[in-house]
Amino acid sequence: GAVAGFMGAGFLGGIVGGLLAGYIAHVIGQLHVARWLRGLMPVVIIPLLASLVASGLMFLILGGPIVAITKGLNAWLSGLTGASAIALGVILGLMMCFDLGGPVNKVAYSFAVAGLGAATLENQAPWQIMAAVMASGMVPPLAMALATVLDKQRFSLAERENGKAAWLLGASFISEGAIPFAAADPLRVIPASMLGGAITGAISMASGVGSKAPHGGIFVFFAIDNFVMFVVSILVGTVVTALAVLALKRWAVRQPETAASVGSVPATI
């Protein structure tokens, strides 16, 4: 991380350097060494060698290309306007709601957080990206909480209890609040969440909403530009997701009933 910051490689350099150092540490840890040296391996030798090798590779080989990529990415973000910004909001919204705190979600979130350092009054795209990511990530738990209120019969008692907690989790930007619902019914909850998240991300980017805070949800309202549209985007996505998941659940229930009614009709000759 320090090497990436020194070279101006940004978050990409930090990620690559961290992964590289971790892999080198793993390789060194697999080596067979003398018994008297084993006690020093995890404390001194592995961290020291892994840091030296990873730093050297970053300085000599990987740093230059990563710096160029980072500069190109920052230039692209600075030029985001109109349809391209909305498209990015849709993509980030889909990623945030795809696995609810999983790897894809974390990639989108890390991308947004890492860009905050490059934001300025002249280049507010990173703030707008952060707002779109935060708003989209709040949609799934809030939508599940709303759905349990709109139609309790579609949810178990445990899910209705989880729905009560999901209000606060969603408002705090904790996407994992929707995991119990997704685990119980992934084929309906996840697509519905992605639909609402994409809409929220698009509205947020189109409205120029910005967030200078990396986390906190509605509780960091003082760090959010155009807070009204921030709330509007979340409300729209939440309602869309809640209605979509309820519609999918009702459709899934009707299918067996339709099949049963067809099967009960006696055959005629």
Least confident of 56-70, 84-98, 142-156, 161-175: 56-70
pTM of the model: 0.74
Residue 9 CA to residue 166 CA, distance in Å, equals 38
Cβ-in-10-Å burial (0-12, 13-18, 19+) of 44 comes to exposed
Q: To the nearest 10°, the Cα dihedral for 36, 42, 47, 49?
A: 30
**Adjacent-strand bridge partners of 224:** 211
pLDDT tens digits for 232-246?
999 999 999 999 999
Question: In this model, does residue 259 exceed pLDDT 50?
Answer: no
- Please state, rounded to an integer, the average pLDDT across all residues of the chain: 85
Least confident of 34-43, 117-126, 205-214, 230-239: 117-126
Question: In this model, does residue 77 exceed pLDDT 70?
Answer: no
